[in-house]
Amino acid sequence: MKSILITGGAGFIGSHTCLQLLQQDYFLYILDSYVNSSPKIAERLDKLLCQINQKLRDKFKFIEGDIRDESMIDGIFKCSINENRPIEGVIHFAGLKSVAESVSSPSLYWDVNVGGTIKLIRIMEKYSCRTIVFSSSATIYSENNRSPLSEDSEIKPYNPYGQTKANIENLLKDLYTSNDSCWRVINLRYFNPIGAHPSGLIGEEPRGKINNLFPYLNQVASGNIKELKIYGNDWPTIDGTGVRDYIHIMDLADAHCLALNYLIKEKKATLLSINIGTGRGTSVLQLLKTFESVNSCKIPFRFVDRRLGDIAISYASNDLASSILSWRPKRNLSNMCIDGWRWQKLNPYGYE
């Protein structure tokens, strides 16, 4: 059994990925500061594993700590050796992800996202662990590209959050090109993950101001927010509202398992950047109508002015994910809306 360090593993994408990895031949050291997640995730994972297979319950360990704390990361690697299961790879989710907050607090974003990654890399080098799957983002692509976005579309992030992601990719590229090492790197560039595990036991727990569309829809459907504000109805799209590529969180979790398995088997230095999206664009109104129809509810909405920095259309080309990882999305928009709403109904206050 291989040991893997999962940073930010208590978060939305991390928790779903941990669940999938635990059903494979991996032991997980899961590091999180809980700045944007809840320690209760450990109980939920345990409950889910109990339902799947009791034997999987002892295959993970949570560690509370900050990715910027180098000696703490060192301690995790040391501990994995002492426990006779040295960490062989890392999936690096830990980071801050609010575009708006990155505009108001850029130095914090550079410190946590870029600074934290540098600390992690230093320790990985110390322990000769050179396998990493990194959480990158579609926000690194230039606004001027036309969708579908392929991996060689122009990279020109337009906010500090996107800058940090592009710069971490640059750092990983420099490591890969350095002569004396054999780094195996996959940058997964996610589009818009939504939905939840079908059990309703784990899901997305947004903290602070809600900026993303799906958590917003959930709040309006719950009656906590009066109406959905739709930013612009005059975009050059099918119905005038913005088009994005929504992907089921379980499909995204599966993509991580495939990426990790690929790197673990790969013997030579590797650097791959791979889009993870469905390859289909969905407008705000299409998502809203699907949500209403599959969940038999009504979402009041109002059109307001466009937001600065938004673009009309963004969706992925996922040819590379399909050819290299044999990954294909298995869940559709209805699954995303049903599963995401189930999580919200069962957990109106998140993990509390």
Ligand X SMILES: NC(=O)c1ccc[n+]([C@@H]2O[C@H](COP(=O)([O-])OP(=O)(O)OC[C@H]3O[C@@H](n4cnc5c(N)ncnc54)[C@H](O)[C@@H]3O)[C@@H](O)[C@H]2O)c1
Which of 3, 5, 14, 244 forms a contact with ligand X (CB under 6 A)?
Answer: 14
Is 36 one of the binding residues for ligand X (CB under 6 A)? yes
Q: Determine whether 109 is an active site residue.
A: no
Q: Which two tokens stand for residue 84?
A: 């006779």
Residues 303-322 interacting with ligand X (rule: CB under 6 A) = none
Q: Output 211 or 233, the one with its CB closest to ligand X.
A: 211
- Under rule CB under 6 A, residue 137 binds ligand X: yes
Q: Does residue 12 touch ligand X according to CB under 6 A? A: yes
Helix segments in 197-283, DSSP class H? 213-222, 249-265
x/- letters, 113..132, toward ligand X (CB under 6 A): ---x----------------
**Closest separation in Å from C-beta 259 to ligand X:** 13
Question: Which residue minimizes CB distance to ligand X?
Answer: 11
13 binds ligand X (CB under 6 A): yes
Comparing CB distances to ligand X, the nearer of 183 and 190 is 190
What distances in angstroms separate CA 154 from CA 142, 146, 159, 275, 301, one per listed residue? Answer: 6, 10, 15, 14, 34
Q: What single-letter DSSP state applies at residue 147?
A: S
- Closest contact distance (angstroms) between CB of 279 and ligand X is 16
Q: What share of the chain is helix, strand, coil (3-state, %, to 5)?
A: 40, 20, 40
Whether 15 contacts 41, CB under 8 Å: yes
Is the CB of 40 or the CB of 182 nearer to ligand X?
A: 40
Using CB under 6 A as the binding rule, the residues of this chain from 157 to 196 that contact ligand X are 190, 192-193
Instruction: Identify the three-state secondary structure at position 316.
Output: strand
Return d(Cα 202, Cα 253) in angstroms, integer.
Answer: 13
Specify the residue, 53 or 113, whose C-beta has the smaller distance to ligand X: 113
Range in contact with ligand X (rule: CB under 6 A) among 33-41, 46-54, 224-232, 293-301: 33-41
Q: Find the catalytic residue in 29, 161, 246, 315.
A: 161
Q: What CA dihedral angle connects 147, 133, 168 and 252, to 10 degrees?
A: 40
Question: Based on CB atoms, which residue is closest to ligand X, 35 or 118?
Answer: 35
Give the contacts of 344 (CB within 8 A, at least 6 positions apart). 203, 218, 221, 222
Within residues 43-102, the interface with ligand X by CB under 6 A covers: 66-68, 93-97
In order, the DSSP letters of 31-86 are EE--TTS-TTHHHHHHHHHHHH-GGGGGSEEEEE--TT-HHHHHHHHHHHHHTT--
Known catalytic residues are 161
Which residues in this chain contact ligand X in the complex, by CB under 6 A? Answer: 8, 10-14, 32-37, 66-68, 93-97, 112, 116, 135, 137, 190, 192-193
